Amino acid sequence: MNKEKPRAVVLVSGGQDSATCLALAVSQGFECYALSIDYGQRNILELNAAKQIAHALKAKKHVIITADLRQWGGSALTDDAIAVPEQSAQGTPITYVPARNLIFLSFATAWAEVLGARDIFIGVNAVDYSGYPDCRAPFIENFRRTANVATKAVDEGWEFNIHTPLQEMSKGEIINLGHRLGVDFSLTTTCYNPDIHGGACGKCASCLLRRQGFKDAGLPDTTKYAK
């Protein structure tokens, strides 16, 4: 361990947002511990992408925790009986996974406590994912307070910092930032419904956002689309 670098746990999903978030944490001088969750997600390519991203961005360690949320389903991403829509609808999207970021941040907090890390990074975004309650600032702030009293932090007199650097950025801004930080976006996958060869569908809400993001950023979209 390099004693001069503070440690941080960074949630890495395999998508372009969390990849940019990891690159940012590295650029800010943190020794980064990348954490991915195998929750039974529909896109099975995500975890392999996360592994490659963590390696490419020189995370100190990458851990994948298995927690099979398919046992109760409740989302198009964890329940085969619920189809992924091609367009976004009003209200909470059917791709919302109940309490997913609550679970992810809880794992991140646990690992951070063991590592002696006070900093946790999560690439949530409240612009494109405004329908997801667990991407919004009030959730993050309440989670931070909870993490501080859930752990030794409360007895030892220190606090966790939950970093959400992408919270208010547009997809174009995120892609521009990641590009400047050296993220290889061809490693990332964001499609809700890719084909078995890894081709993105190009039509789901996530693909549409990604396509528009590269366009807005004025950068070539290296994503392999099925159509």
- Please, how many CA atoms are within 13 Å of residue 105, restricted to the half-sphere of its CB? 29
Residue 113 binds a copy of itself (CB under 8 A): yes
Instruction: Write down the least CB distance from residue 93 to a copy of itself, Å.
Output: 11
Residue 24 binds a copy of itself (CB under 8 A): no
The full length of the chain comes to 227
Question: Total residues at the site for a copy of itself (CB under 8 A)?
Answer: 45
Binders of a copy of itself among residues 122 to 141 (CB under 8 A) are 133-134, 136, 138-139
Residue 181 binds a copy of itself (CB under 8 A): no
Residue 66 binds a copy of itself (CB under 8 A): yes
* Residue 49 vs residues 12, 75, 164, 224: alpha-carbon distances, Å: 9, 22, 21, 14
Supply 11's token pair.
Answer: 């949630």
Residue 106 binds a copy of itself (CB under 8 A): yes
Nearer to a copy of itself, 37 or 49 (CB): 37
DSSP per position, 50-107: HHHHHHHTT-SEEEEEE--GGGT--STTT-TTSPPPSS--SSS-TT--TTHHHHHHHH
Instruction: Give the interface segment with a copy of itself, choosing from 43-51, 61-69, 169-177, 190-198 (CB under 8 A).
Output: 61-69
Q: What angle do CA 73, 123, 194 make, to 5 degrees?
A: 50
Residue 63 binds a copy of itself (CB under 8 A): yes
**Which spans in the chain are helix H?**
16-27, 46-56, 100-115, 137-150, 153-156, 171-180, 205-217
Nearer to a copy of itself, 167 or 212 (CB): 167
Query: In this structure, what DSSP letter does residue 160 have?
Result: -
Instruction: Give the interface segment with a copy of itself, choosing from 46-54, 65-73, 165-173, 185-193 (CB under 8 A).
Output: 65-73
Contact residues for a copy of itself, defined by CB under 8 A: 63, 65-69, 71-74, 91-92, 96-103, 106-107, 109-111, 113-115, 133-134, 136, 138-139, 142-143, 145-147, 149-155
